[in-house]
Structure 1
Amino acid sequence: MQKYSHLPEEELLSLLTNGDRLAFKQLYIHHYRSIFSYALRFTKSAELAEDITQDTFLKIWESREMLAGVRYFKGYLYAICRNMTLNLLARASREANIMDQIIQGAQHFHSDSEAQLEQQEYEKLLHEAIEQLPPQRRIIFRLCKIDGKSYEEVAAQMGITTGTVNDHIVKGTRSVKDYLRRYNITLLKLIFVALLK
């Protein structure tokens, strides 16, 4: 190894193209620190910079037969290191974006599922509240508040006056609200705004 340390770089490269491991080791020792520092400037991570440096020299060894035409080896090393670094950062960015999308999707799914379950629970309670009304009041309440029919339409359908329909709606609404208040839920805001106005 001693004799290799005194060889000019051109000769070391020539030996490397023929698969000389000691020549490769000498070039590695000579350029390691500068390549590591170069990678570290981009990544700000010693661990990543170390990986990139190792990959850079591995690339040199794997493509050693192509080094015969390289005139400025240090610049060639920097170019490989830069490409390795940019590829790593691009991959990390893609993976981070993919991970963000997965996390956001999972959160969206979770909140959607929660909202759906909550809505189902609300609808169940509303159904129970309506079911506890007297039969005629229940029918009138459903026709007006659920089916959206006018008081006049319901009055004509049931053969009663609009005043009677109104009386049933007022009492039915009060009864349903009282039933739902027992559960201390926000259903009053979410459902009554839409159904009981």
Structure 2
Amino acid sequence: MHLLTDHTETEYLHQLIEGDQQAFTYFYDTFKLPIYRKLLKMVRIETVAEELTQDVFVRIWDKRMLIDPAQSFKSYLYRIAQHILYDFYRKVARDERLQREISLLHITTHDPVSEEVFLKETQNILDQAIASLSDQQRQIFTLCRIEGKSYREVSEILGISVHTISTHMTRASKNIQAFMLRNQHLIWIATILAASFEKNILH
């Protein structure tokens, strides 16, 4: 498509805000590939990066009335891309299949910064999960899992039956797992932020 080359970005932005599809096509053609490449560095799955790129420009069109022509459109566009990326990782936190796929790709593509943050944030969420347990569950879980004592040893320390220890451990493990699943998106977001900051990916 032939586009008028004497229009400034500001003029195109005013036209975009008014719903001009030619102006939208100008920005799409200009920024589609850079946005795609940056998103691909994060998700490492081509089809996902393509979908997220489309989502970015759909949101630009839907929210065009919010664009400020006096501000840098590129910066605005990249902020939208960040929001789309965060939304994607929140979705990942609820989808075990996507979690496995993304995790595998992050492992095979070694990133020391992301890996360190991922492990640190995972431990942080685990600590919160343990802290959320009832007093007795937390005490039993700490003795068994963290200090490595046997159920019989804990039974003798606390003066309760091995069966009771086993019951509390089962409940504690389920509660911790549920807590981790509810908060897993925080781990992904922290990892993304660290990688974005370190590599200047979305700026």
Category of TM-score, reference length = shorter chain:
0.3 to 0.5
TM, length-normalised to structure 2: 0.45
TM, length-normalised to structure 1: 0.46
The structure having more radius of gyration, on CA atoms, is: 1
